[in-house]
Chains A and B, each alone.
Chain A
Amino acid sequence: MSRLILYRLGYGLLTLFVVSLVVFLATQALPGDAARAILGRDATAERVAVLRDQLNLNDPLALQYGKWVAGVFTLDLGDSFANARPVAEYLGPRVAGSLTLLGLSALLATPIALLLGALSAIRRDRAADHATSMVSLVLASLPEFAVGILLILALSTGWLHLLPPVFAGTASAVLADPVQLILPVLTLAIAVSPPIVRMMRASMIEVLESEYVQQARLKGLSERVVIWRHAAPNAIGPVAQVIAVQLGWLAGGVVAVEFLFAFPGIGLALMDAISTRDIPVIQAITLLIAAVYIVVNLLADVVGLAANPKVRVSAR
């Protein structure tokens, strides 16, 4: 078991290394002159030379990469081209903003999704179950920005002007006006929930048909105790992995949602950086998102291993 986990960890590190190479190569080592590609054809030779120097483009490729990775480890990611501030200082509050958004969405989505999944399993094949299944299938199909726009259309336009459609605030104080957070959090929560609902339903059905639940019923325990004390806690184990995978997905899904609501997080910062070709910021954010995605998937793997008694025993 611990050997398996160590293996996964090593593999995760290797993946991170390759990902950093991809990020570096895609942004900085393109065929042709990256500096000229960024500045455009009309740039003066002087500006191109300054940029080449800033990006270490005159060094051999391996050294460029080395310098960049060393910068990642010391959080010295260079200065943003667009606003001349150090990247780490610029991104810090934005990372916090995105984490707030993701955290709130996860806190809202997970319990509701688990509850819906469990209720569907208990009312299996009845109207409420079919309705939940249909709604989650429909919501799972929609791209997250479409969910957001439909919410805006429903809640911020027409007769209802309940919630502000755009976030107005700075990255350092996203919680200052919580009403503004409702729509982005709701959008992400809706986008992330359907697979959790489905998995919880399937897992709960399996548990409800198991012998120990039957045993508990035969003992004469009330149905409430059977379901919420005996069945539900055991059903959550297999779902944990799906939850983790979904949270990893959130790290990427946040881009379109932040762009839609103009929420000051890393997703919006990435789109800003792309429009100004701000390479140090693009590199930092894509690497961060991929790293979160890898780490969360790794955790999901470990949770999956730990929740599986067969692996736990045989691979000791």
Chain B
Amino acid sequence: MSTATAPAPEAAAAAPGSPQRREGLFRAAWRHGRTKVGVTLVGVIVLIAVIGPFVSPYSPTELVGIPNRASVDGTVFGTDGIGRDVLSRFLHGGYTLISIAVSAALGGVLLGTVLGVIAGYQRGWLDEAIMRVNDMALAFPQLVLALLVMSIIGPQVWLIVALIGVSHACRVARVAREATLKVVEQDFVKSAEAIGLPRWRIMTAEILPNITSPLLVELGLRITYSVGLIATLSFLGMGLQPPTADWGLMINENRIAVTVQPWSVVLPVAAVALLTIGANLITDGLSRASIGIDRGVEKQ
């Protein structure tokens, strides 16, 4: 959004490539109220997901009462479709979702960065090859690609991480390449080339430190989408499989009974919603701090 405040002085003043720059980005992002709200939301949900399994009153697969009752003795939020404790399943259901989503996003950003920097710095046929293959992979909506591949092999956790990670990587590679192209033209890269630094050294020591801001924004965005995509896959029954406790799966299993026992749907939906909103607020704060233009909206 163009009204975003100008990049904070720290971020602008710090010499490119110095470690202060990144610290400056986080501090500049923190100035925006939305970043604080985002960090709080994400913090609360992650805390629930991490501590939840240790404090849950029952096991997530234990039958504790009559199915689909909102008030059952000894439970806070009643029972789900086959009589398990809703609160216990909720407390157990976030950990896998978050860890799968974050690994897919991290893997995707890592792979995308490597591809994008190589394409942007080496140029020539390698650039063409990487970016053209990329375009082909971008022709599938992320969800449809994941569904297509899993339709025959079946839902597997490693496959979900790989598919979502790779489809992120294609999108990250574009951003990393654009950022690299801007850096490559600058004098310090030219001088590093002149003194004969090996090309891989230039890529890791000269270019990479100077494109961390857009990459961090991209990471935030990818985590937001990962959570949404993986929750959607579980909701469609193509993610984690029963009897695992998982927020997306809980919604899928209990949505038919939502009128008689809303809690088993309300809790996981609220958690997924707050988590993605929080992650996107942080991303928006980061991107306002880094370039003044926010990318936190486009669905790609």
Q: Could you tell me the distance between the alpha carbons of A283 and B266 in the complex, rounded to whole angstroms?
A: 35
Shortest distance from the beta carbon of B261 to any chain A beta carbon, whole Å: 10
Find out whether the CB atom of B140 lies under 8 angstroms from the CB atom of A290: yes
- Chain A residues, CB < 8 A from B255: 149, 152, 260
Find out whether the CB atom of B139 lies under 8 angstroms from the CB atom of A15: yes
Find out whether the CB atom of A274 lies under 8 angstroms from the CB atom of B297: no
Find out whether the CB atom of A277 lies under 8 angstroms from the CB atom of B258: no
Given known A140-B280, A141-B276, A290-B139, contact A23–B148 (CB-CB < 8 A): yes
Find out whether the CB atom of B2 lies under 8 angstroms from the CB atom of A143: no
State which of B2, B34, B266 has its C-beta within 8 Å of the C-beta of A205: B2
State which of B1, B238, B265, B300 has its C-beta within 8 Å of the C-beta of A249: B300
Q: Could you tell me the distance between the alpha carbons of A11 and B136 in the complex, rounded to whole angstroms?
A: 10
Find out whether the CB atom of A142 lies under 8 angstroms from the CB atom of B228: yes
The verdict on A263 contacting chain B, using a C-beta distance below 8 Å, is: no
The verdict on A94 contacting chain B, using a C-beta distance below 8 Å, is: no
The verdict on B281 contacting chain A, using a C-beta distance below 8 Å, is: yes
The verdict on A131 contacting chain B, using a C-beta distance below 8 Å, is: no
Which of B18-26, B49-57, B122-130, B149-157 lies on the face that meets chain A?
A: B149-157
Given known A27-B152, A195-B298, A252-B142, contact A274–B276 (CB-CB < 8 A): no
Q: Could you tell me the distance between the alpha carbons of A138 and B273 in the complex, rounded to whole angstroms?
A: 9
The verdict on B277 contacting chain A, using a C-beta distance below 8 Å, is: yes
- Chain B residues, CB < 8 A from A273: 151
Number of A interface residues in the complex (CB < 8 A): 70
Closest partner residue, chain B, to A16 (CB atom): B139
State which of A138, A255, A279, A297 has its C-beta within 8 Å of the C-beta of B147: A255
The verdict on B279 contacting chain A, using a C-beta distance below 8 Å, is: yes
Shortest distance from the beta carbon of A128 to any chain B beta carbon, whole Å: 13
Shortest distance from the beta carbon of B188 to any chain A beta carbon, whole Å: 31
Which parts of B258-300 form the interface with A (CB within 8 Å)? 258-259, 262, 265-266, 269, 272-273, 276-277, 279-281, 284, 294, 296-300
Find out whether the CB atom of A277 lies under 8 angstroms from the CB atom of B232: no
Find out whether the CB atom of A246 lies under 8 angstroms from the CB atom of B273: no
Find out whether the CB atom of A143 lies under 8 angstroms from the CB atom of B151: no
- Chain B residues, CB < 8 A from A194: 297
Given known A137-B281, A141-B279, A251-B141, contact A146–B231 (CB-CB < 8 A): yes
The verdict on B113 contacting chain A, using a C-beta distance below 8 Å, is: no
Find out whether the CB atom of B141 lies under 8 angstroms from the CB atom of A18: no
The verdict on B193 contacting chain A, using a C-beta distance below 8 Å, is: no
Q: Could you tell me the distance between the alpha carbons of A311 and B276 in the complex, rounded to whole angstroms?
A: 38
Shortest distance from the beta carbon of B226 to any chain A beta carbon, whole Å: 11
The verdict on A157 contacting chain B, using a C-beta distance below 8 Å, is: yes
Which parts of B207-252 form the interface with A (CB within 8 Å)? 224, 227-229, 231-232, 235-238, 251
Query: Using an 8 Å CB-CB cutoff, how does the interface string of A1-37 with B read, 1 for contact, 0 for none?
Result: 0000000000100011011001100110010001001
The verdict on A220 contacting chain B, using a C-beta distance below 8 Å, is: no
Closest partner residue, chain B, to A287 (CB atom): B148
The verdict on B47 contacting chain A, using a C-beta distance below 8 Å, is: no
Find out whether the CB atom of B296 lies under 8 angstroms from the CB atom of A140: yes
The verdict on A136 contacting chain B, using a C-beta distance below 8 Å, is: yes
Query: Using an 8 Å CB-CB cutoff, how does the interface string of A151-184 with B read, 1 for contact, 0 for none?
Result: 0110011100000010000000000000000000
Interface centre among B2, B143, B144, B300 (most CB of A within 10 A): B144
- Chain B residues, CB < 8 A from A136: 297
What are 25 inter-chain pairs, A to B, with CB distance below 8 A? Answer: A16-B139, A18-B139, A26-B152, A125-B3, A133-B1, A137-B34, A137-B281, A137-B296, A143-B276, A145-B231, A146-B228, A152-B258, A191-B299, A195-B299, A198-B1, A198-B294, A198-B297, A201-B1, A206-B2, A242-B298, A252-B140, A252-B144, A255-B147, A274-B147, A286-B148
Q: Other CB < 8 Å A-B pairs besides A149-B251, A279-B152, 14 of them?
A: A22-B148, A137-B296, A140-B297, A141-B273, A143-B227, A143-B231, A153-B258, A198-B1, A201-B1, A205-B2, A252-B144, A253-B141, A259-B235, A275-B237
5 closest residue pairs by CB, A with B:
A252-B141, A143-B228, A141-B280, A140-B297, A141-B276
